[in-house]
Structure 1
Amino acid sequence: MALSRIWSAFVIIAVLVASIRIVASDNKVIFSSMVTGKSGDTIHLRQTDTTTFSEIQLHQLDSLGYMAVGNASVKRTGNGKLEYYQLQNADGIIETCKSAVNISIGLIGIMALFMGFMSIAERAGGIRLLSKIIGPFFSKLFPELPKGHPAMGHMMMNFSANLLGLDNAATPFGLKAMQSLQEINPSAERASNAQIMFLCLHAAGFSLIPVSVIAVRAALRSANPTDIFVPCMITTFVATMAAMFIVSYKQKINLFQPVIIAWVGGFSALIVLLVIYLNRLSVDGLQTFSSILSNGLILLIFLLIILGALYKRIDVFDAFIDGAKGGFETAVKIIPYLVGMLVAISLLRTSGSFDMVIDGMKTFFAFLGMDTRFVDALPTALIRPLSGGGARGMMVSTMTTFGADSFPGRLSSIMQGASDTTFYVIAVYFGAVNIKDTRYAVGAMLLADLVGVITAILLAYMFFGR
């Protein structure tokens, strides 16, 4: 029900805000933009003459070809006048529907591949073995799971893929984990405690190396593209721990059990050692290490699965085909959920609702007399739960405007690499198992996201604020 209310609120707020803006602003095509517009389209607002600008402003306009004025820009037209315009920042609902289907179609091959190998691993007993290894820890964190249940192995595969930044592998493993958890869910349409815990930990997005963020920073000529590596890792770790504490509090799980402390403490120690090592590498060295580790691990997993299956005398290809069929079905099943969520997010962005929130926050913090450098990076944090691509665009825009090595540029980089797209995760993962009542999952995820944002801001001031 919580997701239903949030989805409805997105649509209602978007339409109301757009209705107000079409009356009170120069943008009279906002409804068209929301329905049929495309990201990057030019929205023509109004024309004016040169008398409204100073000589300095006109010189800037002629030098750059455009001039920013508030939330709009100004350029010269062919008849010598000046025109106010905006660029649409997101696709309208028609294009968004197409994008949602394309995302699902793009998942089909990946889902078929990884779920095919998962099927081989299950028949060969590999998932059961992994479940036994991780069982002592997961049995405390997921008390509802029977001992040695395959879901433990599936979740471990998902967390490992997330840790290494293997998004393509993490999604199939995660969906398989949700399906395994659904098998023991007493209510077919209501999220179980185990599903909520798993999804909140997954959405916290703990990862070792934010390779894509580092690559963007390098492309934008940062003097030290990897300087956000340590704060980014710490932020994701804190957000993950926050998710664990939030859900454990709700589910009355005691996190101070010796087994949990030992596993978390041991893992934290390994992360510290890895950070010390990786922090000594150059940009190229870090990217090479990440590529070898992540891609090499995928190939190693495939090799071990095949060898294990051959040892167990499993019909390897038949097992692969059976699993791959399930991957295809899952990818198709999530289309309605993905369309619904992405359309609501599109309406929220194209209506200007999101811009109003950002402008309001800037005004509020400026009024309080606070250091407002962090506010320029907030668009990345605010849009991250809604859209990964949108957040990436915000990050690039922030670094382009203020500089890759500016405080807002670095902070937006940390925020981009420090969480997952919460509402996308909710739509895809719960949709794959037909869960309609998500209970407190959305609130827990967003609260963990908030902890991550606050941590990112504090670390940015600690590392780069002087």
Structure 2
Amino acid sequence: MVLSRFWLAIFISSIAFVIFSLFFGNTYTIDFVLNGKKDDPILISEKYIQDLPTYIKDSIEKAPDKTMVINRDNLNLDTTYVYSSKTVKIYSGKQKSDGLLPTCKVSLFDIILPLMAYLAFFCGLMELLIISGASEKLARRLSPLFSKIFPSVPKNHESISYMTLNFAANFLGLDSAATPFGLKAMESLQELNPEKDKASDAQIMFMCLHAAGLTLIPTSIIGYRAAANAANPADVMLPCIITSFIGTIAAMIIVGIRQKINFKSATLLVALMTIISAICGLLFYINRLDLIEKNFFTANLSGLMLIIIIGFTLVFSFIYEKKFVEKNTTIFDTFVNGARNGLTTGVTIFPYVMGMLVAISFFRNSGLFEIMSNGISFAFSNIGVSKEITDSLPVAMLRPFSSSGSRGFMIDAMNTFGVDSLTGRLSSIFQCSAETTFYVIAVYFGSVKIKNTRYTLGTMLLVDLICVITAIFVASWFFVK
């Protein structure tokens, strides 16, 4: 219900603002909101050529293509004058994201179809884990821990293994594998849900833990920093881990208090200390490496772990091939059947993803997001927050809405302010230590057709805020001299 109203609020407020800007503001056309593409120039005005300054008029008439570009400063985009059919169209600035109609197309061809391919492959692997008995063995070993965090989930239930694989994939930065594992976990938890259109306690806890995005190796962030010629591309790794870990603990506590979970369990405390020790040990090892060794290690760890997971699944299935024979099937046929189920899941979630992405696109192109972002940055600057921090806030604000949009802001911040500046590093931490909340809710709850998400959205946004505040303190601690 909350998500539905939020979706409506984004659309209605954006539509109202677009109409107001067209008739009472400086907007010349609204076609870009509907049909424009990301990074296209925006038409801001149209004039008769005789109404232009003389030097611009003469330059246009002398140009072979009747086009003139005025190069302004590096912080502002070029203004382009294009003469056609007795009028001059004036373009300036770039579109923030695809318009409504291109977003519908992009959501299918660039998001859902690749996601369906990932779902097909990993759901095929998960079917092998189920039939071979590997998921049951994993669930049995982890049940003592998960029974404390998810008391409504029976011991040895298959959802435990799926959630574990999802958390592990996120932890290692394996985004393509994390989503299929997470969707399978939601489907499994939905089987235990007595009210099928209402999120269960276990599903809410799983989603909120997922929101913190606990990551050990932020491979993509390191790659972007390396491409921008950072002195040490991996120097944000420890701040990313600390921020996302604090966010994960905060999510567990916030939801746990709401669900009256007992945190005094020795099993839970031992598990947390084990995780902290493992992270510290690995970080200690990485810090002993030189720059080339760090780059090699961080570039290959995630990929190597994914290969190990795939190899383990296939070898385990071969060892217990008799279980497949007992079910009158083969290893390959089981994989194909699981892959087919993955494709079905992809078709199911497409409308939810498209609806959310279109709303976000409309919101960004309307100009409302930019006004809100500038307003918040101005407010923070007036209470003494440094400009280096306020310059990075657009990344944090957009992250819950759009991963690609916030990534664009992050890259722009690194290029504009310097990859090794506090702004550049803080933007990287923001991008790494939170989840695309609205997209994730649409995908995960949409896959099991849950309409009432209860307090999931509010909690996930609160966790995002905690990650933002933590990131600012951690980045200041590490990088402010």
Aligned-residue offset at 1:225: 1.6
Taking the TM superposition and a 5 Å limit, the aligned residue runs for 1:409-424 are 409-424=424-439
Where does residue 59 of structure 1 map in the other structure?
none
**Partner of residue 454 from structure 1, selected from 454, 464, 469:** 469
TM superposition shift of 1:420: 1.5
Encode CA deviations 1:220-272: one digit per residue, 9 max, x unaligned.
Answer: 12122221111111111111111111111111112222111110111111111
Give SS of 1:458's match.
helix
Shift of 1:74: 4.9
Q: 2:98 aligns with which of 91, 110, 113?
A: 91
Identical residues among aligned pairs (%): 42
Aligned to 2:211: 203
Say which SS state the counterpart of residue 453 (structure 2) adopts: coil
Once residues 421 and 89 of structure 2 are traced to their aligned partners in structure 1, the CA distance between those partners, rounded to angstroms, is 32
Query: How far off is 1:203 after superposition?
Result: 1.8
Which among 453, 456, 474 is matched to residue 441 of structure 1?
456
In structure 2, relative to structure 1, the CA distance for the partners of 1:50 and 1:426 (3 Å cut) is farther
Q: Distance in 2 between matches of 1:64 and 1:201?
A: 50
Aligned ranges 1:252-271 → 2 under 5 Å: 252-271=260-279
Partner residue of 1:22?
A: 22
2:286 is aligned with 1:278: yes
| Deviation, structure 1 residue 22 | 2.2
Listed one character per residue, the Cα deviations across residues 118-167 of structure 1 (whole Å, up to 9, x for unaligned) are 11110111001110111111001000001100000010011111110001
Contact 2:381 2:390 in 1 (8 A): no
1:194 lines up with 2:202 in the alignment:
yes
CA distance in 1, matches of 2:291, 2:20: 48
Give, in whole Å, the separation in 1 of the partners of 2:90 and 2:285.
54
Alpha-carbon distance in structure 2 between the residues aligned to 1:282 and 1:348? 45
Of 81, 90, 108, 1:101 maps to 108
Contact 1:68 1:74 in 2 (8 A): no
| Alpha carbons of structure 1 residues 316 and 368: separation in structure 2 relative to 1, 3 Å | same
Q: CA RMSD in A?
A: 2.2
Query: CA contact under 8 A between 1:108 and 1:328: conserved in structure 2?
Result: yes
Is the Cα–Cα contact under 8 Å of residues 381 and 412 in structure 1 kept in the other structure?
Answer: yes
Taking the aligned partners of 2:287 and 2:101, their CA distance within structure 1 comes to 45
Contact 1:128 1:148 in 2 (8 A): yes
Which one-letter code corresponds to 1:25 in the other structure?
Answer: G
Mapped to 2, the partners of 1:174 and 1:234 lie a distance apart of 23
Residue by residue, what CA displacement relative to the aligned partner does 1:189-240 show, whole Å, maximum 9, x if unpaired?
1111101111111121101111111111111121222211111111111111
Partner of 1:12: 12
Instruction: Give the 3-state SS of the residue equivalent to 2:79 in structure 1.
Output: strand
Q: What is the rounded CA distance, in whole Å, between the counterparts of 1:158 and 1:242 in structure 2?
A: 19
Per-residue deviation, 1:368: 2.4
Q: Which moved more, 1:216-225 or 1:164-173?
A: 216-225
Tell me which moved more, 4-13 or 17-26. 17-26
Gaps of 5+ in 1: 52-61
Residue of structure 2 aligned with 1:290, choices 276, 281, 298: 298
Equivalent residue of 2:351, what SS? Answer: helix
* Structure 2 counterpart of 1:233, one-letter code: I
Residue 42 (structure 1) aligns with: 41
Larger radius of gyration: 2
Of 362, 368, 376, the match for 2:391: 376
Query: Which residue of 340, 343, 361 corresponds with 1:328?
Result: 343
Q: 1:244 to 1:105 in 2, by over 3 A?
A: same
Change in Cα spacing, 1:198 to 1:50, as seen in structure 2 (3 Å) is farther
Alpha-carbon distance in 1 for matches of 2:314, 2:232: 41
| 2: CA distance, partners of 1:230 / 1:420 | 18
What do residues 341-373 of structure 1 show as CA deviations (whole Å, max 9, x unaligned)?
001111110001110111111221233243232
In structure 2, what is the Cα distance between the partners aligned to 1:115 and 1:287?
31
Rounded Cα–Cα distance in structure 1 between residues aligned with 2:298 and 2:231: 20
Q: Distance in 1 between matches of 2:273 and 2:180?
A: 28
Matched letter for residue 256 of structure 2: S
Unpaired segments ≥5 residues, structure 2: 56-67, 325-329
Q: Secondary structure in 2 aligned to 1:67?
A: coil
Return closer, same or farther for 1:41/1:270 CA change in 2, 3 Å cut-off. Answer: same
2:79 aligns with 75
Matches within 5 A, 1:288-327: 288-312=296-320, 313=322, 314=324, 315-327=330-342
- For 1:210 and 1:399, the matched residues in 2 are separated by 17
Matched, 1:349 2:357: no
Once the two structures are TM-superposed, the CA of residue 75 in structure 1 deviates from its matched residue by 3.2
Normalising to structure 1: TM-score of the pair?
Answer: 0.92
> Which of 226, 229, 237 is matched with 1:229 structurally?
237
> Who is 2:193 aligned against?
185
Contact 2:77–2:93 under 8 Å retained in 1? yes
CA distance in 2 between partners of 1:121 and 1:76 (Å): 58
Distance verdict in 2 for CA 1:215–1:282, change over 3 Å: farther
1:362 to 1:291, Cα distance in 2 relative to 1, 3 A = closer
